[in-house]
Chain A
């Protein structure tokens, strides 16, 4: 095809804008319009308290328009309502049993009304215990299935007692039912127990009630075994789960027996229960009463305690004290205390009003407390190589639980009595700890001084948790002094920091920075000798966290003299970074106003530098990202107000400090660009000599910072952005330099880049960037010493030389998209311009030579496109050919002067080419054709309508 001659269409942007604008119709008051502020003429009373959504009929202009979405909702939004509901449901159905059943159980629980929401449920403890008491030692399970020693001997056998038992044992072995599993890891053990739980359910479901009972008995027998004692609490949790399952199964079974004719009300009495159900229930109790061993008998009976309701009104009331007394028969104090905990748990669940047996449990516990230090326990500990402090911690979950049950809604007098009795029992730290933990905060608070006295007397260092409570105002200081006197005397750094950690919170909450400072300095004093802090990082971290929770004002925080020295104690890198991170998180969360306080800036710069310096080659990307995010948050919060120069020098300093984190660099460049634009705003667009120098300095900052980035696209985009900023600030040569740099970087763009870890072709990004770049070029004036359209040519040359992907039309697409910009450049007045910057329109003033230059460029481009189209004529290329031809057609239609015959002919040819192979989207074609016809109706557009007649649609062709 012969060279085409290009003539840009002359545009009148103003008129076109007018022509395209929709007719504006004023909205009458009362007419419906979706974006109109919602006005409610009748004020309805709204339920719930979403303040933003209430709207009044007097729409004052200052108030923000109400959000139409929020007005749809009244009260809490549905998501949080679901969340709230599921939270309430979770503890009621810990085993994922049938939901109906769970629901019923919950209802029952509520009806019994003894236990409120303020009672921490067992399910909450469960996980905690399992996580805390673990072991690496080997465990064993020993199950004797099939031998039921409690069973009466079969009548008729007249052999002597000894022979009979031996025979029984033989039988068991033959059945293979004695299973001893040795060398189980903890996980194996948990799995085995879960299997037992499953087989219990299966046995029950297949109506093998006796087998189910046997499983339960064998399981509870495991609780009398204290081998691998560290694991005992967890074992207790696992096995009581099975017992709970069993108890529920039995209860539900009997319940269903009563309710075959009519449903039993939840508050049924024994009189409502029919004889069959009663008989079945009685059978269970008789069977359990004949279990030989004490511990299984106790646990299994406790598990089905609730079933007493079927038999008599007073059953539970009579059974609980009996079971409580029965526990006295357990020699091992640990086994006994957990049995008590289980009984208390069942008791609280079934009959929370029966406080007496709970109390009795506790007093019995005190009564047998000396067992803990008895010989058999000591021997056992020696054998298992467990130390006393470790052993004592095994008690704490059980004692905590018992005390929690006992003290729940307990009268003051009872608590006092308990305290007295605890005191008599050798004032043991273990007990004291649990007492303080479980009793009501007010109760403990009122006696804070007493407690501290007791702690003082206590030989083993406890965990004074009374920091969690609120003593009366007047006593606070004296309490703190008293307590600190005790704490400061604790010699072992580990114990010291455990106590101090708790008291820091108390101090932070109620006192000012002076006291906190003192406390911190005391901690430093204690922890520095022998580098004791190395062992106590978790506690020290928690100290920092607590301080941060209560001190959000960073100027106060950093004015504490000992705060930074305190930070210096974190000498292990990972911990230090962790601490810095938490400081920054709090800063970002609570700092509302930008700051210029030198104390804060210095300190935080130090903190951020610590975080930054932790980055090395091995740091994970995520880690880097989150660190950079925190530092960025800090940088954003720094503002020196009108003192722009200081802000710039801060950025310079920050660049030097954070050179390893790319996102921070990017942020800094943005900050500086923003600074330049801010300056422009302040000067209302016309710079003085001084500000002009300043914005040039900003540009220089960006210009030397950008090359240090590795990501090619952030470099490109920042060059462009900074170029735009420079242009806006009338720094022409700087803008030129930025844009030139961008063009020169282009060839380095790799063909594929990694996006979120996946390799993707960079083509799309590159096209986007080039289009964006081109549109900026409209306003960039030509350099006086370079040729016409120096930058456009440069860009196109780069595009020409760039190694595009094979079989890609990207290059041609760039050419096609360059046409509109060239057309725009040849207009007499440009679509947009920058105030105080003369674009080419004024420089050249529509000089015909300039226009001719543009036209020549266009012709070359079109020639290139057409050449490319030709190569696509074969095989698979036709689809791409059609689409390219169509876009060139569109371009010609919009920007070319179609009065020119050749151009007109070219357009028609392109239309036909795009429809030749039938790959054209008919709807687009139809729409385009309609548009052309519509255009043709306008004055001076007759050539268009003529052309329209020559265009044919595919279907008609």
Chain B
């Protein structure tokens, strides 16, 4: 007895916005006719929060994880109890993506301590003797474009030993001078982060220059709140002792799923930062941090 259940969404990229309709087909493939007690679709949107062990105790982190926040849940019946004929059966469906009340659909985001995920589950109930069949597929939600004009907010920066903080022995630092510019810190999530950087001088040869994209997740709960910064990705933009005085481009694409428009709610926050990291040949690490504000237009 082999019957398989599958959900195929019409959109290849599986991205939907609030108010739109998820259209697709439920595909049942079996050799023989399948008797069932009804096929239903369930849509669910959940924010999972987890406390980091750094902020609270290990046990609390494990046990006391914050209750998931439900964003959306709804259920429809696709087929009434009956029989599906053998072969491949496609049952089309349309499922509106509407929220109840004043809830907002946050954008899909996969992080470390915060996860926003939307799923569509198809269940086929069957008689006692046969196992129920179930299939889950994830779909992406992009939030509505933010209103208001996005102001480009270019940032010019200069990094020298003097501008550094957290330096134990300022005297031991080699001399260097790096100038640069980020074209915007208010970034459109679909557009790459751009800018340029010039090594004007450096006493010690440069080993590498990298862009580190960092997420800052904050979870609030009864005990207080936890704020954790973790790396999303690290992109090298210069390798070796690059030509001084020649501007090198800063360019980074924001990865899908792992980034979302900067989000601030009562229970949790998701923010992003970028670090420009320079590694010198004597293994000095020089980092300059820039908070970013991501949005979707």
Q: Which positions in A face B, CB cutoff 8 Å?
A: 149-150, 152-153, 155-158, 160-161, 224, 274-276, 278-279, 282, 285-286, 289-290, 292-295, 297, 322, 325-326, 328-332, 335, 364, 367-368, 370-371, 374-376
Contacts and interface: CB of A to CB of B under 8 A. Distances in A.
A275 B243 contact: no
Interface string B241-252: 111001111011
Contact of A328 (B11, B113, B232, B243): B243
B193 to A, nearest CB: 11
A158 B239 contact: no
25 contacts: A153-B112, A155-B111, A158-B52, A158-B113, A161-B231, A276-B12, A285-B253, A286-B256, A289-B235, A289-B252, A289-B255, A290-B233, A290-B253, A294-B238, A297-B235, A322-B251, A326-B237, A328-B243, A329-B239, A330-B239, A364-B246, A367-B243, A368-B243, A368-B246, A376-B205
Contacts of A276: 12
B50 A158 contact: yes
Contacts of A326: 237, 248-249, 251
Contacts of A150: 233-235
Contacts of A364: 246
A680 to B, nearest CB: 87
Interface of B: 11-13, 50, 52-54, 61, 110-113, 115, 205-206, 209, 228, 230-243, 246-249, 251-253, 255-256, 258
A520 B198 CA distance: 55
B239 A295 contact: yes
Contacts of B237: 294, 326, 329
A278 B233 contact: no
B13 A275 contact: yes
B239 A325 contact: no
Contact of B239 (A149, A157, A160, A224): A224
A286 B252 CA distance: 10
B258 A329 contact: no
A868 B258 CA distance: 106
A325 B12 contact: no
A340 to B, nearest CB: 13
Contacts of A293: 236, 239
B50 A370 contact: no
Contact of A286 (B241, B242, B255): B255
Nearest to B259: A152
Contacts of A322: 249, 251
A149 B112 contact: no
B137 to A, nearest CB: 15
Nearest to A377: B241
B225 to A, nearest CB: 15
Top 8 closest pairs, chain A to chain B, by CB: A331-B240, A275-B12, A329-B238, A289-B253, A368-B243, A294-B236, A279-B12, A325-B249
A374 B231 CA distance: 35
A330 B112 contact: no
A213 B230 CA distance: 26
Contacts of A297: 235-236
Contacts of A275: 11-13
Of A150, A161, A290, chain B has the most CB atoms within 10 Å of the CB of: A290
A279 B234 CA distance: 24
B112 A370 contact: no
A322 B253 CA distance: 13
B249 A158 contact: no
Given A326-B251, A328-B243, A329-B209, A158 B236 contact: no
A588 to B, nearest CB: 58
Nearest to A364: B246
Nearest to B58: A158
Contacts of B233: 150, 152, 290, 292
Contacts of B13: 275, 279, 282
Contact of B231 (A153, A329, A331, A368): A153
Given A331-B239, A376-B241, 12 more contacts: A150-B235, A155-B112, A158-B50, A160-B54, A279-B12, A286-B256, A289-B235, A289-B253, A293-B239, A328-B246, A330-B242, A332-B239
Nearest to B242: A331
A135 B238 CA distance: 29
B9 to A, nearest CB: 11
A157 B111 CA distance: 10
Contacts of B112: 153, 155-158
A158 B53 contact: yes
B271 to A, nearest CB: 17
A289 B206 CA distance: 23
A294 B115 contact: no
Contacts of B258: 152
A329 B237 CA distance: 6
B248 A328 contact: yes
Given A294-B239, A367-B246, A155 B234 contact: no
Nearest to A321: B249
Contacts of B239: 224, 293-295, 329-332
Given A279-B12, A329-B209, A332-B240, A152 B110 contact: yes
Given A152-B233, A153-B230, A275-B12, A329 B50 contact: no
B234 A292 contact: yes
A325 B249 CA distance: 6
A294 B234 CA distance: 10
A329 B248 contact: yes
Contacts of B54: 158, 160
Given A156-B112, A157-B112, A329-B242, A292 B235 contact: yes
A942 to B, nearest CB: 100
A329 B249 CA distance: 8
Contact of A278 (B12, B52, B230, B256): B12
Nearest to A277: B12
A293 B50 CA distance: 31
Contacts of A289: 235, 252-253, 255
B294 to A, nearest CB: 16
Given A152-B110, A279-B13, A376-B205, A158 B231 contact: no
B282 to A, nearest CB: 14
Nearest to B226: A158
Contacts of B205: 331, 375-376
A370 B228 contact: no
Contact of B236 (A286, A292, A328, A374): A292
Given A156-B50, A290-B235, A376 B240 contact: yes
B252 to A, nearest CB: 8
Contacts of A329: 209, 236-239, 242, 248-249
A357 B14 CA distance: 36
B243 A152 contact: no
Contact of A325 (B242, B243, B248, B256): B248
A150 B241 CA distance: 23
A164 to B, nearest CB: 9
A293 B208 CA distance: 10
Contacts of A330: 238-240, 242
A157 B61 CA distance: 12
Contacts of B52: 158
Nearest to A328: B248
A374 B112 CA distance: 44
Nearest to B55: A158
Contacts of A152: 110, 232-233, 255, 258
B35 to A, nearest CB: 34
Nearest to A288: B253
Nearest to A276: B12
B256 A328 contact: no
Contacts of B209: 329
Nearest to A371: B243
Contacts of A158: 50, 52-54, 61, 112-113, 228
Of A156, A293, A331, chain B has the most CB atoms within 10 Å of the CB of: A331
B134 to A, nearest CB: 23
Contacts of A367: 243, 246
Contacts of B255: 152, 286, 289-290
A371 B245 CA distance: 11
